[in-house]
Amino acid sequence: MSRAPALLMLLAGSVLLAACGQKTSSDSGAASAPASAPAVATPEQAKALVATLPAPYNTGDPEAGKAKFTPCAACHTLTQGGPNMTGPNLYLIFGRKRASQPGFDYSDAFKAVPGSWDAASIDTWIAGPQAAVPGTRMSFPGLKDPKDRADVIAYLKVATSPVP
């Protein structure tokens, strides 16, 4: 059996990872450990996590938010130990100081924004990143519908929090 197909697949994977800003094992000289498998919240646990959010975010639907988050997944991972990509890993985003994800190169504009992430600041950010932080490198145009943003915030709360 020829090794050419396997090498071609490895090369293609490296190109795809490099395109999204993730380092490949050849970038660091050693293979990276895979991200841990995410613990999945039961429906009751998800409901309890969403209930900890302030109004109106505590009315968000995490399942609808998961679908609306799909374009974001091209640049962001959500799992504990997940890699930074074009955007930072968002695990434990609630309460995290802004521009503090280890290993991610934030824009100077974003580094100048004080505070920590909470539901309201995430709402402002995903409504329009360019308006929230002029000079940010994030090109996402934003979610205009407040219900869509509440759903995404509910999903982020469930997907990026340790399972109780």
Q: Give the mean pLDDT per block of 10 residues along the chain (164 residues).
A: 39 35 34 51 95 98 97 95 97 97 96 97 97 94 97 98 86
> How many angstroms separate the CA atoms of 4 and 54, rounded?
55
Give the model's pLDDT for residue 38: 54
> How many angstroms separate the CA atoms of 69 and 34, rounded?
22
> How many angstroms separate the CA atoms of 74 and 20, rounded?
8
* Sequence letter at residue 40: V
**160 and 76 Cβ atoms separated by less than 8 Å:** no
> How many angstroms separate the CA atoms of 18 and 12, rounded?
10
Give the model's pLDDT for residue 40: 82
pTM for this entry: 0.77
